[in-house]
Structure 1
Amino acid sequence: MAMEDFKAAIYEGRVTDAASNVIGKPLQYFSEVPLNIAVVGEPGSGKSSFVNAMLGLRAGDPGAAETGIQTTTVDVKAFPHPHLLNVIFWDLPGKGAASFGEDVFAKINLNRFDFFIIVGAQRFRTIHADLVNEIQGMSKKFYFVRSNTDLDLEASKRQRPSDYNEERILLRIKDDCHEGLRREGATNPQVFLVSSYETKRFDFPLLWERLKNDLLGLRRKAFLLNLPSISLPVLNNKKTAMKKQILIRAFWLWIFAAIPIPGLSYFPARKVHSWCYHNFGLGDLSLRDLAQLVGKTAATLKAVMKPLSFISVFLWGFAELVRAVVIIGDYTYFQHFPLYGYLLSGGISLLSTYVMLNKFVSNATDNTQRVLTEALMCEAKKSI
């Protein structure tokens, strides 16, 4: 029901009501929202084994991810969690993994996922930094998991048995991860040292508890970030409906074509432009209320809006100039009332005005989507 109210408010130009309808919901409201968790990292870092560990499965079990010594994941594969409702782990190819000479990871649209777990088997590397920057660029969250911790400890013990100190080694590994993440601008980075084969050791239990505690916040964030895509077809329907009204308004503006002064129709056209923006909920008062709701300023929301393109304005102005020249030229050449000039300039004005008003509607539609995306993104950042 709340989703229908959201769509209705968007269609009616009540963007603040639409946003408040979902922002004010308690966390429990989002308990069944699907959550898509992408497991990413370099090739061979143990992503598939980690996915199996999170699912409570071993390699070879029905429904388990395929694992092996060599890189085995070359496609995006979904693994619904058997106990967490609507939580899907996605096993992604390693960043830099090649298939038929192509980087298969580069073709994946990461924005389709709601949350990320970066798995690294070595020291913090450039690949990890690139992933962190890409994820943060989408305003999404992640955990950093250092896999194969048991193997790291065994290697350290073999190399320097007399100086072996498990606690100190684990702290050094975690500090390296924290340092790398902070260099990339990650605030309060969540780092977990795990072994996918010994899930009761190290940070695996802590990781599991943290995920369960963050789950509702992550679901809420995913829901809010997906709302703009839900609003898009609603806005497009509204645009179609409004364009049917535009022809009538274009006829009203047509009467100004009778006066051969370039740009005279600018002022009534400007009123139509304001009508479009208010109809979509982009008036100053509406933007102020929306900004207050999400804890931002109206200027922040206005900053994402884009004006009409220069080419559109130029062509409209050029058409206005042409129609004036047609009338004046008709009168000067024939020395009588410029009947034909009025008819021709009227046709030019009607066509150019109709095209321009349609661009007003399209521009308002696009800006509503941008404002809504910015407002919901601001709110989504508060989720966890």
Structure 2
Amino acid sequence: MATEEFQVAVHQAKLSDAISVVQAKPLQYFSDRPLNIAVVGEPGSGKSSFVNSMIGKRAGEPGAAETGIQTTTVKAKDYQHPTLPQVILWDLPGREDSAFASRIEQVDLNRFDFFIIVGYQRFRTVHTDLVHEIRAMGKRFYFVRAKIDLDLEASQRRQPSGCDEKKVLQRIKDDCVMGLLNESVIDPQVFLVSNWDSQSFDFPLLWEKLRSDLLQLKKQAFVFSLPSLSTPVLERKTDAVKKKIPLIVLYCALLALLPVPGFSFVAAMFFFVRFRSQCYREFGLDDPPLTALARDIGKPVASLHAVMKSRSLMPLILWRLPDLVGAVLILVEYCWWNRYPYAGSLVSGVISVFTSYYMLQGCLAAVAKDTQNVLSKALEKMSV
């Protein structure tokens, strides 16, 4: 299984091998992967009716989504697709529904693998906001313009003898496409549908597109799940490295007892850099593995360094600011009290115990998080 192979490679600090495990799998390998599709949009856009059309149900039938003139969807509800394997459609509460805001479930969109934005009438701000959220997660979507039959009926009433159906449909699609292009969406996928007739307008094209994209979407969903799958592996590695921290803290404290102003900071810096380098080796973030990973994914190694927060020394400097207290006491005892700086050395040692412990703990947690960040960055190319 790719999951186990991926986790083993992460445990062995071979991030390049972890990525290769996924790259080597053919699309058909992901056919049994679940795909959670979120149907989102403004209230009243026809999301629930669209879900019913997708699963082949009519309103009121057992297992159908609840529909109505007023807002009916206040909680996310899942519907298993009857023919597409392992595909689950989620009917989500509408956006911008202030009248029902207090009882509408707040849904984390990160839970879902793919999105279908359902709109009605013009391209609106709510659609823009959804596009931004989805793209920020690096995920894909289709835009469905629903209730197209009602638009045609309205056009025919306005122009009983001069209504050109093709021009009306093209004008509506152009409005949607232009709205998406204005948000820098490349190759926007727009479908005009009637929720009451899944054989008319663009519904057949939507089905064809979804079927053709299905395996790629499932692979993308698997790729997005990989950083979280590494969490238990990284936690075990973190627990193993934690056992080394008390001894390092002891060394820092003993050296901080020396009556030399600023020596506590120098010693802490030395041990911190050594500890961080050791963490990088344990997690596969030192230079040789990162260079190999960057080469394999065709990205500069600087792009991987950019997502590693643990490379910054500024947090270390801030953590060691309390060392100034011990240094000042040592200087005061030397220069003004004319005696051996027992108090200053003791204070310096005590401060070093606490600052060194939390500094090293923070470093270890940051390196573990950086491993997930690097994996996510390396997997970006496969999720497009």
Task: Calculate the TM-score normalised by the size of structure 2.
Answer: 0.90
* One-letter code aligned to 1:225: F
Q: Paired residue for 2:293, among 280, 290, 294?
A: 290
Letter in 1 for 2:88: I
The equivalent of 1:359 in structure 2 is: 362
Give the Cα–Cα distance (whole angstroms) in 1 for the partners of residues 333 and 231 of structure 2.
Answer: 48
Is 1:294–1:379's contact at 8 Å kept on the other side of the alignment? no
The farther-off stretch of 131-140 and 322-331 is 322-331
Supply the distance in 2 between the matched residues of 1:25 and 1:348 (Cα, whole angstroms): 52
* Equivalent residue in structure 1 for 2:378, among 365, 372, 375: 375
CA contact (8 A) 2:59 2:67 kept: yes
Preserved CA contact (<8 Å) 2:74 2:103: no
2:319 aligned with 1:315, yes or no? yes
Q: Which moved more, 1:253-262 or 1:122-131?
A: 253-262
* Alignment map for 1:176-195 (pairs within 5 Å): 176-195=175-194
AA matched with 1:264: V
Q: Deviations over 1:34-78 (max 9, x none)?
A: 111011111111111110111011112221111122222121111
Equivalent pair of 2:13/2:281 in contact (CA under 8 Å) = yes
Map 1:54-73; keep pairs closer than 5 Å. Answer: 54-73=54-73
Stretches of structure 2 lacking an aligned partner (at least 5 in a row): none
Q: Is the 8 A contact 2:261 2:330 kept in 1?
A: no
What is the match of residue 46 of structure 2?
Answer: 46
Alpha-carbon distance between aligned partners in 1 of 2:10 and 2:101, rounded to the nearest angstrom? 46
Please give the root-mean-square deviation of Cα atoms over the aligned residues, in Å.
2.4
**1:75-130: per-residue Cα shift (whole Å, max 9, x none)?**
1111011122211000111111245553836x221111111111112121222122
Output the amino acid matched with 2:280.
Answer: Y
> 306-315 or 371-380, which moves further after superposition?
306-315
Distance 1:350 1:46 in 2: 62
The 3-state SS of whatever aligns with 1:102 is helix
- 1:264: which partner in 2? 266
1:342 shift after superposition: 5.6
Structure 2 CA distance for aligned equivalents of residues 206 and 243 of structure 1: 55
Task: Give percent identity, aligned residues only.
Answer: 51
Matches of 1:118 and 1:349, distance apart in 2: 55
Q: Would the aligned equivalents of 2:41 and 2:126 in 1 still touch at CA under 8 Å?
A: yes
Deviates more, 1:118-127 or 1:251-260: 251-260
Q: Distance in 2 between matches of 1:326 and 1:9?
A: 50
Q: Residue 162 of structure 1 aligns to a residue in which SS?
A: coil
- Aligned residue pairs: how many? 378
Alignment check: 8 A CA contact 1:48 1:66 kept: yes
Cα distance change of structure 1 residues 335 and 197 upon mapping to structure 2, 3 Å threshold: closer
- Aligned runs of 1:197-212 on 2, under 5 Å? 197-212=196-211
Please report how far the alpha carbon of residue 335 of structure 1 lies from its aligned counterpart in structure 2 after TM superposition: 4.9
Supply the AA of the counterpart residue of 2:374: V
Q: Is the 8 A contact 1:153 1:169 kept in 2?
A: yes
Q: Which amino acid aligns with 2:95?
A: K
What's the counterpart of residue 118 of structure 2?
119
Q: Give the counterpart letter for 1:44 in structure 2.
A: G
CA contact 2:48–2:66 (8 Å) conserved in 1: yes
Q: Superposed, which structure 2 residues align to 1:104-115 within 5 Å?
A: 104=104, 107-115=106-114
2:17 — aligned with what?
A: 17
- The one-letter code of the counterpart of 2:156 is K
Distance 1:103 1:188 in 2: 37
Q: 1:100 to 1:194 in 2, by over 3 A?
A: closer
Q: 1:340 to 1:123 in 2, by over 3 A?
A: closer
| CA distances 1:256-295 after superposition (whole Å, capped 9, x unpaired) | 3354252331224312221112221111222222222333
Partners of 1:293 and 1:370 lie apart in 2 by 17
Q: How far is the alpha carbon of 1:203 from its aligned partner?
A: 0.9
Equivalent position SS for 1:63: coil
Please list the CA deviations of residues 226-270 of structure 1 after superposition, one character each: whole Å capped at 9, or x if unmatched.
Answer: 211222232222212211122223334455335425233122431
